[in-house]
Structure 1
């Protein structure tokens, strides 16, 4: 059978791995600069840990793992006949691949809160899995790079995370816009339109505005049994001005007697004002009132990051999730976090040619294999280079020079070294720079330095 990859997965070549590491190292450096500590959790969790945390759509995208052994033996015959997928899933699967890093993190905090120092700041860089339809920038296996703070309600956390986003992307030389909203504002809008009981339906549809447009959102709202009257009251959402503070003031008027809505506006105003005072360019920070992110657990700020110079979905996102650990039996631990989408960041940087020369994994020197005693002498010099942190290797066979040169060129090796009988006798080394074509002979001592 011809081998193939599972849909939505990829192999990574040496160049791709090196470039991914460049992004990861940049993010890791910034996470630690901002006081975050590393954490790793298992690839799979109990299915009960994950379900009910991502909304109806998210639950469908969780990769379930079949139970070990004869998993069919405990299935009720009628459930097989009726093909009731929810009942069947509960009987044949009790584990699942993690869907994101936030819920496993919340589970970790719930299990270990007695030993943690709060506020607890952690970062996590690991793969996640989603049974989504693969397309450009969307995979079934992909990495997330998260930074979360739990144990603090301070809005300074929102301000700090905006700083972390902007510094990290600036270090990657990537121009971005951070879109921000507040879940309390969305709750206020639902109350204002008289659809409080349809809050999740409303936000799931609204979050698709940039994908399906105004007409698509209105159609979906109607399909979710939200009245035309309520939709008309929300029409102003589709005609926001470019002035952040003007939009917030407009909301203050509409939320005059709406406590939760006003609270959301007040929080957002504080975060935006503080960020601007710290020198954030208003062009890089946008109040996006239609930003909903269809996840059930956000309770305050919501973030989404978009690249400015290329068409791509969000390359980062997150928000405040004050009640998340409560589902694991631990109350009063507020949390907020952001995520960097490694795979999409890679695609954007590749498309824009932003990877620097050092974001490669190349051997510096290839020693020509002359056979005999020359091999031993070459290996001695190679060992000295490696001890100095310089990558080097010897061609494994005593092949024709042309073949050894071709190997070096294809592998991107910069210099080829000749340590033949004459060089050994005179304690010299000859090396050729394959980029410039220049050849040089120096003493063995000088080369080793």
Structure 2
């Protein structure tokens, strides 16, 4: 048999014990903030029915869904004419009915509908699980990555949007970030702009294009808009709107003039103003809004299910794409048969946040192992005596391990050092006779004698 060189699928990564310590630091920090704001944790399966996911993310999003081939001979029931055509898109309904989840929001909407009789409204949940997208891998963009979501359904109050701003601000600062922007827009404003231009039916095409402004520039956006059915006259109207400058309050005032004829657009402006009022009420000042929040009319969040306020978060300390985003999705559960249940949620991009903290050196001292004490294994008699001691250390709540073989002391010490174990216990003939053990502090190199009780007191 030929030897296969091991490799990773593109867009995926292994995580070492040290990296897992850092990832769990992010997850635990976020969970603490989420719980503080009254959110409870749920989980959903890694894959869903394909019909659950398709049609929720727009045409471009649907292309990035990882489909799972049916088990068995998946081609046996495929129509012969489609096989001859060799057009995979037409074959999809015949060879697959499952897919890896693209995000956590649509599965959450499905969960709410299926469990509607078991949950209390408003229902506030957080969810930290991996998602998969068939995207082109690049720095900060992976095909398998974790999302950390907080959502609430069953509440129309814009107080929820205001609290999401507070959650972003507190969680990111708790992680050590100082210079970041929470961008906010409203899909009703974007709809109003499409109405003013006279192309309300092209709202999706417009939002998909202008959402790429940071990536392809104004010229690229204009080119895409022309390809999607807009005219040069439309672009002349749209350009000054896209390029609005000034404070958030100034932008909103300018938009009131531009969207004076659009009731929906004015409603979107009023919703953002209400969110800002709630934030001021929480904090008692303008400081948080002035420092961290910005109205960005180009923010579109190219997902079709958003209907109200939308968010995106970017850090300015590292060159990185967005590290969070979300918005309101009033009609999402309606796609699953539950009408009239509004929802709103945000997500943290854990993998991008990981890279940001790594580049900035913001992780607390992380050790490869949680083990606090290594007991040296000198020989079989020592092993026999130390096994009950090891049992009692663990019973006392101390993470401890015994080196599994009577190897050379240097090798055992190297093992402890390599795993970042802070203390090593030496139990030789003298220690077995006196009942006082030699404890070594690996950081300082200091050694001292301790009884079992003193050992427990020091390490607990």
SS at match of 2:219: helix
In the other structure, the counterpart of 1:291 is 299
Structure 1 residues 376, 281: closer, same or farther in 2, change over 3 A? farther
1:328 corresponds to: 336
- Counterparts in 2 of 1:213-252, with a 5 A limit? 213-252=217-256
Offset at residue 187 of structure 1 (A): 0.4
Provide the secondary structure at the position in 2 that maps to 1:278. helix
Residue of 179, 186, 189 corresponding to 1:182 = 186
Residue 281 to residue 258, structure 1, CA distance change in 2 (3 Å)? closer
Change (3 A) 1:444 1:326: closer
Shift of 1:86: 2.5
CA distance in 2, matches of 1:170, 1:359: 23
Structure 1 counterpart of 2:278: 274
Shift of 1:130: 0.6
* 1:58 paired to 2:61: yes
Whether 2:78 is the aligned partner of 1:70: answer no
Distance 1:238 1:320 in 2: 22
Superposition map of 1:435-446 within 5 A: 435-446=443-454
Residue range with higher mean Cα deviation, 279-288 or 197-206: 279-288
What displacement does 1:276 show? 3.2
Instruction: Tell me the distance in 1 between the aligned counterparts of 2:57 and 2:451.
Output: 65
User: CA distance change for structure 1 residues 236 and 277 in 2, over 3 Å: closer, same or farther?
Assistant: farther
* Long gaps (5+) in structure 2: none
Give the RMSD, CA atoms, in angstroms: 1.4
The residue number in structure 2 matching 1:203 is 207
- In structure 2, which of residues 17, 30, 41 is the aligned counterpart of residue 14 of structure 1? 17
Contact 1:305 1:317 in 2 (8 A): yes
1:115: how far off? 2.8
User: TM-score scaled to structure 1, two decimals?
Assistant: 0.97
Q: Is the CA contact 2:11–2:144 (under 8 Å) kept in the aligned structure 1?
A: yes
Distance 1:325 1:259 in 2: 25
Corresponding residue SS for 2:266: helix
Matched, 1:399 2:407: yes
Kindly provide the CA deviation profile for residues 407-449 of structure 1, in whole angstroms up to 9, marking residues without a partner as x.
Answer: 1222222222111110111111112222112111223332233
Moved over 3 A (4+): 358-362
SS at match of 1:10: coil
Which ranges in structure 1 are unaligned for 5 or more consecutive residues?
none
CA deviations 1:143-186 (Å, max 9, x no partner) are 11111111111111111111111111121122222110000000
Other-structure match for 2:358: 350
Pick from 254, 272, 283 the counterpart of residue 258 of structure 2: 254
**d(CA) in 2 for partners of 1:330, 1:220:** 36
Task: Tell me the CA shift for residue 359 of structure 1.
Answer: 7.1
Contact 2:310 2:326 in 1 (8 A): yes
Q: Is the 8 A contact 1:180 1:302 kept in 2?
A: yes
The corresponding residue for 1:315 is 323
Structure 2: distance between partners of 1:343 and 1:209: 23
TM-score, structure 2 length as denominator? 0.95
CA displacement 1:38-62 (0-9 Å, x = unmatched)? 1111111111110000001100000
**How far is 1:360 from its partner?**
5.8
Q: Does 1:106 pair with 2:104?
A: no
Secondary structure of residue in 1 paired with 2:245:
coil
Partner secondary structure for residue 319 of structure 1: strand
Give distance in 2, aligned partners of 1:310 and 1:144: 20
How far does residue 324 in structure 1 lie from its aligned partner after superposition? Answer: 0.5
Could you say if the C-alpha distance between residues 95 and 337 of structure 1 is closer, same or farther in structure 2, counting changes exceeding 3 Å?
same
**Aligned partners of 1:19 and 1:360 also within 8 Å:** no
| Corresponding position of 1:429 | 437
